[in-house]
Amino acid sequence: MDSIEGVDQANGPAPHTLTIRYDAEADRVLIVDQTRLPHDYVEVELKTLADACYAISAMQVRGAPLIGVTAAFGVYLSLRGKEDITARNSVSQTVEALAATRPTAINLRWALTEVEASLARCDSDLAAAALNAALELHAQDIEACALLGEHGAQRLQELWEAKCERAAQAGLSKPERLNILTHCNAGSLATVDWGTALAVIYKAQARGIPLHVWVDETRPRNQGASLTCWELGQRGVAHTLIVDNAGGHLMQQGYVDCCVVGSDRTTLRGDVCNKIGTYLKALAAADNGIPFYVALPVSSIDFTLRDGLVEIPIEEREAEEVSHISGLDDQGIIRRVRLAPTGTVVSNYGFDVTPARLVSGLITERGIIAAHEAALTKLRDSLS
Ligand code: MRU
């Protein structure tokens, strides 16, 4: 894997590049290496299937929609340069290797199934067919996220207008801003572009709604602190970083108007699996009467599962993600330091499930859908 370009974030904004892109002239697949953000903005080339598998499992790319699209390009990289017969014989092993990289986000399997279906329909030049399928998923993801962002922005506009109206009725001055709380990174970095939860915010900002985002740091990997703060900063959205446990207090004090998060897998009955800690935010939101929305493309819905608590495989990652932490020291050097005593037993669940009853609505490219089996069944049936 070659490094293409580095930009020191201390010295200015990064170019707005898609998280993954195909350079057709040079036949190269390029990703932004998210393990280097926010300190370095570096694009690296994925050259082989092993590169694609590594990028997903080491979280150079992460976020449910993005790992799906990366896996699709991984199939292309594996078939590139192979005779059709050899390529055909290697497809199932390739798909297995990519599917094994991360267990929770359904987009990974969904994207691989889409690519496999395209290959099954094709008689010759399998590599070209895999590339076309990957490019199609790439374009679809951008379109879906932009669209769901618009649907969500409409809901934020209604919440903003209601907040202004309440203030006017109470004889108070116009509120300063609409406060949104988000968890992890469900932004453009988690998709090809736009994001899911953050697409809603970007589209609402474009409508002129004064927004402020509370960003959960999202231990252990700190995607909120390092990625969400970075991309909100790049796009000029007012935000404040908080520790993961602060959300409940802020909600009790009236400092949160709405929560918007993403999803790695949502079931037919509307249970939402997302980054560990999401469930506790949903509980606190329900206790305080605060709307809790989940923004997701339809590709994040697993229509084959009903009970998210029982049926969704929850990723468990290395203990070092919890026992250690890394960051930039005062000399500008990235260092990893130990937090817990040597030998401490660690558990590191990556995701949790928020039951449908705590979800105010699912913001999708097909509109805002109730987190109920009837609504999701209707959506499923409209897709076939
Ligand atoms: O472990 P990660 O960083 O891949 O987890 C990402 C999330 O939990 C996101 O909220 C989710 O994938 C939705 S992304 C649009």
Q: Dump pLDDT digits (tens) for 286-320.
A: 999 999 999 999 999 999 999 999 999 999 999 99
| 351 CA to centre of ligand 1 in angstroms | 9
Coil vs helix vs strand at 337: strand
The yes-or-no answer on residue 264 being catalytic is yes
State which ligand 1 atom lies nearest to the alpha carbon of 275: 8
Cα–Cα dist 134/250, whole Å: 42
Q: How many domains does the chain have?
A: 2
Same domain, 174 and 222: yes
Interval 205-236: pLDDT, tens: 999 999 999 999 999 999 999 999 999 999 99
Kindly give the residue spans of alpha helices, DSSP state H, lying in 126-221. Answer: 126-169, 197-206
Residue 331 included in any domain: yes
Q: 101 with 179, same domain?
A: no
Structure-token pair, residue 82: 């192979």
So what's the pLDDT on residue 52?
98
Could you tell me the two tokens for 39?
A: 């300190």
Q: What's the pLDDT score for residue 384?
A: 80
299: Cβ below 6 Å to ligand 1? no
Q: Is residue 157 part of a domain?
A: yes
Together in a domain, 110 and 175: no
Q: Whose CA is nearest to atom 15 of ligand 1?
A: 186
Domain with residue 268: its CATH number is: 3.40.50.10470
Q: Which residue among 138, 169, 188 closes a domain? A: 138
| Count of Cβ atoms closer than 10 Å to residue 341 Cβ | 7
- The per-residue pLDDT string of the chain (384 residues; one tens digit each, 9 = 90 and over) reads 444 443 344 445 666 779 999 999 999 999 999 999 999 999 999 999 999 999 999 999 999 999 999 999 999 999 999 999 999 999 999 999 999 999 999 999 999 999 999 999 998 999 999 999 999 999 999 999 999 999 999 999 999 999 999 999 999 999 999 999 999 999 999 999 999 999 999 999 999 999 999 999 999 999 999 999 999 999 999 999 999 999 999 999 999 999 999 999 999 999 999 999 999 999 999 999 999 999 999 999 999 999 999 999 999 999 999 999 999 999 999 999 999 999 999 999 999 999 999 999 999 999 999 999 999 999 999 998
Can you tell me which atom of ligand 1 is nearest the CA of 197?
15
C-beta 350 within 6 A of ligand 1? yes
Cα angle 352-100-376, degrees, rounded to a multiple of 5 = 50
Q: How far, in Å, is the centroid of ligand 1 from the Cα of 81? A: 33
State in Å: Cα 312 to ligand 1 middle.
Answer: 15
Q: 232 with 349, same domain?
A: yes
Among 194, 196, 244, 275, name the best residue to mutate to test ligand 1's pocket (greatest count of ligand atoms within 8 A of Cβ): 275
What pLDDT is attached to residue 79?
Answer: 97
C-alpha pair distances (Å), 31 with each of 14, 47, 53, 61, 69: 14, 11, 13, 7, 11
**Who contacts 220 (Cβ-Cβ below 8 Å, separation ≥6)?**
317, 321, 322, 325, 348
User: Distance (Å, rounded) from C-alpha 38 to C-alpha 241?
Assistant: 14
Same domain, 53 and 114: yes
Residue 127 belongs to some domain of the structure: yes
Q: How far, in Å, from the CA of 168 to the mean position of ligand 1?
A: 38
Single residue among 138, 170, 203 that ends a domain in this structure = 138
102 and 177 in a single domain? The answer is no
Residue 239 is assigned to a structural domain of this protein: yes
Q: Are residues 162 and 300 in the same domain?
A: yes
Please give the distance, rounded to the nearest whole angstrom, from the Cα atom of residue 196 to the centre of ligand 1: 10
The first and second tokens of residue 384, run together, are: 């076939």
Structure confidence at residue 8 (pLDDT): 42
User: Does one domain contain both 94 and 222?
Assistant: no
Same domain, 9 and 88: yes
Whether 143 is covered by a domain: the verdict is no
Q: Give pLDDT, residue 381.
A: 97
* 313: number of Cβ within 10 Å: 11
Q: What is the pTM of this model?
A: 0.95
Q: In terms of domains, do 212 and 88 share one?
A: no
Choosing from 66, 184, 266, 294 the residue with most ligand 1 atoms within 8 A of its CB, the one to mutate for a pocket test is 184
Residue 15 domain-assigned? yes
Ligand 1 lined by 267 (C-beta under 6 Å): no
Q: Is the CB of 275 under 6 A from ligand 1?
A: yes
- For 327, which DSSP code? E
Residue 144 is assigned to a structural domain of this protein: no
Q: Kindly name the residue from 141, 216, 257, 264 that is annotated as catalytic.
A: 264
Structure tokens given for 291 = 């709307």
Range of the domain at 373: 149-383
* Ligand 1 center–CA 84 separation, angstroms: 35
What pLDDT score was predicted for residue 12? 54
Among residues 138, 169, 202, the one where a domain terminates is 138
Do 214 and 352 belong together in one domain?
A: yes
Q: Is 155 in the pocket of ligand 1 (CB under 6 A)?
A: no
Q: List the structure tokens of 366.
A: 């097909």
Q: What is the pLDDT of residue 14?
A: 62
State whether the beta carbon of 187 lies less than 6 angstroms from ligand 1: no
